[in-house]
Amino acid sequence: MDFKRINIWLIVFLLTTCYTVTSKAQGQTPAPVVVPTEKINLPATTENWNGLYLKLRMSDKWFWYQENHYRRRNSVNNNWDFVGRMSQLYNRFGFTYLFTDNFEVTFGPTLVWQFSPDRGNPEFFDSVFDSRFWHQWLMTQSIGPVKVLHQFRFEHRFQRGNNIGSEYQYRDRWRYKITGYIPINKPRMENKTFFIAPSNEFFFQSNRETWNPFEENRVYTAIGYTYNNYMFFGGHMWTYGPTITPGTYRNRHIIRLNVMYTIDFRERRVPLTRDFAF
């Protein structure tokens, strides 16, 4: 599959996705809502996300992909302390199939523990378990020394709130992220490279009674360093998007700290040719 062909399919998929999201949103019969006369921006909140990323090569074409995040958020009384309350244990797993050097598909489950906004309050269940199925297309291209990643991610989620008695609801989420990996001390991304990685990601949602299919935009600028099998990266992410209240928007400042580890298992297998003669 060459890259031009992928691009054509990509455009077809994008058009289909946009149509689906729009038509579903239009097809719903939302409850009467009162739209405020002017846009309301809620005060910014803060969070801290710490992530471990694993990419294990199992064969020439298959990888195991894994993310484990420890996420905290600000205290109730202080929007700027970043780590005042436990927020989420976020775990994403998947099998990646490498179609070409520039195109791979990943699919798998996501397991999220969403913690109570007020731990110890009996009105809330301490941690609810959200499970999701996700899949993504990841395309890479090189523009001079810059490595550009196009990530299309789709999440099919079973979610509930922490309120006692809250019921699970099925929702879909559609995401696109573009990331540029810009090497600083090397001509291209390789071992022992300092880099800067700006990215932007759009989130859309469907299967949800909402006044806006647009869910969120995330602007993330990471700096990082590659060292052998490790990549250390982190930075600041700003998110902006509507809340469930019409005309009301929230924004978050998130400090992210991440480590990625990659390992190739292909040489470790020992073909067994002897007979145990059971």
Partner 1 sequence: MNKVILVFVFFLISSVSYGQYKEQIRVKHGYEMAVDKGFFGMNFTGEYFPINYISIVPSVTFYTPATGAARGFDLNARYYLTEKESQWYATLGYGHYTRVFEFNPIGVLRTNSVNLGGGGVFKLSDEIGINPEIRYQPIQRNDLIFKISILYFVN
Binding residues for partner 1, rule: CB under 8 A, are 58-59, 62, 64, 93, 95, 108-109, 111, 125, 127-129, 131, 158, 164-165, 167-168, 265, 268-272, 275-276, 278
Secondary structure of 55-78 as H, E, C letters = EEECCCCEEEEEEEEEEEECCCCC
Residue 1, burial from CB neighbour count under 10 angstroms (0-12, 13-18, 19+): exposed
Shortest gap between Cβ of 265 and partner 1 (angstroms)? 6
Q: Which is nearer to partner 1, 18 or 126 (CB)?
A: 126
Nearer to partner 1, 53 or 232 (CB): 53
CB of 207 to partner 1, least distance (A): 18
Least Å distance between CB 59 and partner 1? 4
State the amino acid at position 236 in one-letter form: H
**CB of 240 closer than 8 Å to CB of 215:** no
* Least Cβ distance, residue 15 to partner 1 (angstroms): 34
Give the span between the Cα atoms of 217 and 173, in whole angstroms: 13
Nearer to partner 1, 24 or 57 (CB): 57
- 37: burial class by Cβ within 10 Å (0-12, 13-18, 19+)? exposed
Output 38 or 60, the one with its CB closest to partner 1: 60
Task: Tell me how far, at minimum, the Cβ of 172 lies from partner 1, in Å.
Answer: 18
8 Å CB contact between 110 and 129: no
For partner 1, the closer of residues 143 and 278 by Cβ is 278
Give 66: exposed, middle or buried? Use CB within 10 Å, 0-12, 13-18, 19+: middle
Alpha-helix residue ranges (DSSP H) falling in 180-239: none
